[in-house]
Chain A
């Protein structure tokens, strides 16, 4: 028997492990989804053939999601007035620092890609709506159009970086056994791809585009299942602390939520629906993407919360 008694009882210090609340999982969820949107819209825009009008607007989802995510991150800061301190330093050992800078790079790249993707009449409408900023939109679009291909390549790279970072942020904080896994970066990246695809499927993209998204989503879900398995096996075969962490998801307090929300709701059921829709057994609905989004948020929520017990 071992009994530990810590003689400090204070909401400031104990439970001192719980440093991050809802803001960080939400931020990781939105960041991952933005990464997925950046990657997938780039791939869709690069395909030959017609583009739906909805798809032309959708690259704007990435900066929008990142903005909401940054608000969540900002809410988590204990000293909000010092947020600019992130941008006085670049510390290569700190993923928090990487993230702050990546988020800043996301804006110009994804906005220029989005402007270049618009049809002429859409761009004209947007410039008209933005009043004094309209001229800027026109000039930025003129800048982006001839460079669309290079910008899309950059978008892909930044998107992958953003998606990986959302997992690496946790995995480098080695003090938490559940997070100490190099699989987290790729896992959050493919989960971001899946949630990004799901978000795009909520919009009226063309039949053909929807079909491509569903197919890519299936690949992402497949990869996610493999990576989740690797993650759990890696933990379960590690030292005692890792095994205890694996136990949280395999028989411990987070087991029910993990299997029900992440595995069944977020991976299994939508994968099945997408397969059936692909075979034209079922009509494509918004159910599968909605479930993927629930699963993606649950994955981050559970990872952040369970890592801190």
Chain B
């Protein structure tokens, strides 16, 4: 069996920007007031009346090439099972080198003094559940799974549907794919 590689497909044609994923993440992970691990971006392109809009539910891309992990002086930021990028809060000094190196602004400082970010709800995944954001999404825009398994739903979506990753030029090889 090959190693797992967790990924997420975000269907921008289904997402309506309702923020349910944001709120369920906050609840699941007991985030403090003002702290978010995922967020909604609305991007409008064109000149009136020829406008197009894309709505995206964004989070850490659990990149394949991780500047945040490379920048961390203590090893608090690390790549865990399935390529998931995590922060061990008991090692984090809050120096913010990782935040300055992440091109996506996926990290933020928790009021308790450590840096926090999306974990792909690894604690749920280990119990065989899907991430909280996916479970809550009313339009089923989010699909988490193992990209190394060609039969998984996320593999099928990413292989079949046109998609893009954010800032491909940053060289981070993101594993969150936006289906267009």
Q: Which of B22, B92, B108 has the most CB of A within 10 A?
A: B108
By a CB distance below 8 angstroms, the chain A residues around B36 are 8, 10, 12-13
CB distance from A12 to the nearest CB of B (A): 4
Does more than half of chain B's interface fall in helix, strand or loop, or is it mixed? loop
Residue in B19, B44, B72, B90 whose CB lies within 8 Å of A94: B72
Query: What sequence of 0s and 1s flags, for each residue 79-99 of chain B, a beta carbon within 8 Å of any chain A beta carbon?
Result: 000000000001111111101
The 3 A-B residue pairs whose C-beta atoms are closest, nearest first, are A78-B94, A79-B113, A97-B73
A19 touches B100 (CB 8 A): yes
**CB within 8 Å of A: which B24-83 residues:** 32, 34-36, 39-47, 67, 69-76
Give the complex CA separation of A169 and B4 in angstroms: 33
B44 touches A16 (CB 8 A): no
Query: What sequence of 0s and 1s flags, for each residue 86-122 of chain B, a beta carbon within 8 Å of any chain A beta carbon?
Result: 0000111111110111110101111111110000000
Is B125 interfacial (CB 8 A cutoff)? Answer: no
Q: Which bucket holds chain A's interface residue count?
A: 35 or more
Given contacts A17-B105, A176-B100, contact A94 B70 (CB under 8 A): yes
By a CB distance below 8 angstroms, the chain A residues around B107 are 16
A96 touches B67 (CB 8 A): no
A7 touches B41 (CB 8 A): yes
By a CB distance below 8 angstroms, the chain A residues around B113 are 77-82
B100 touches A175 (CB 8 A): yes
Give the complex CA separation of A76 and B95 in angstroms: 7
Q: Could you tell me which B residues sit within 8 Å of A by CB distance?
A: 17, 19, 22, 32, 34-36, 39-47, 67, 69-76, 90-97, 99-103, 105, 107-115, 169-171
Residue pairs across A and B with Cβ atoms less than 8 A apart, 29 shown, are A2-B44, A3-B44, A4-B44, A7-B22, A10-B34, A12-B109, A13-B34, A13-B35, A13-B39, A78-B114, A79-B92, A79-B94, A80-B113, A81-B113, A82-B93, A82-B94, A85-B92, A86-B95, A88-B74, A88-B91, A89-B75, A97-B73, A172-B70, A173-B71, A174-B101, A174-B171, A175-B67, A175-B102, A176-B100
Residue in A76, A82, A241 whose CB lies within 8 Å of B92: A82
Is A207 interfacial (CB 8 A cutoff)? Answer: no
Q: Could you tell me which A residues sit within 8 Å of B by CB distance?
A: 1-8, 10-13, 16-17, 19-20, 76-83, 85-86, 88-89, 91, 93-97, 100, 172-176, 239, 241, 308
B43 touches A4 (CB 8 A): yes
B108 touches A12 (CB 8 A): yes
Select from chain A the residue with minimum beta-carbon distance to B42.
A5
Select from chain B the residue with minimum beta-carbon distance to A92.
B70
By a CB distance below 8 angstroms, the chain B residues around A85 are 74, 76, 91-93
CB distance from A300 to the nearest CB of B (A): 14
